[in-house]
Chain A
């Protein structure tokens, strides 16, 4: 079934560790996004990509980095996790035409101890 998949669903990790949150979509979408959201709160765009080898920073400053080597894959990496990174990270994708609806993944709930 065409969808957008995020792994892991939950992650508890110690301060200073390097982590990668995975996001893959099988919908053939060109555009992909990462949002940060505290539970039930506002969604903040931290990274986006309009295609392979294209990445941009979003409106919320983030210490994370992203890569887009394949159309379907958009991983997010934190080189050194800190407690302030504790949050939910939502990946999303959309078709190429402007203002197409976003399809979200189920999210990764990250806790840094």
Chain B
């Protein structure tokens, strides 16, 4: 199946700094990528939908100035957590759907464990 690579897998940063997470589709083109946040023992919460060449669409309650999303190419989307605080510590997962493939399946990155100290 298609591969989505997410980097880094773990990151620890100091409060007040910014962290960038990359999501790449390695062998397919993804017009749309999704960013999720997952708290311990909970389901995935959609944060935003990232569209190549245009602004991301954020879900209600997600601060767009804090979680900056850039989708500069058909294979790369980035999520930047700006001025991180301890409450931003979480597991972040991206996913992408193959624009040229069969409809349906989404492919997920391996996730990024962010810890803000």
Binding between chains A and B: no
Residues of B at the A interface (CB closer than 8 Å) are none
Residues of A at the B interface (CB closer than 8 Å) are none
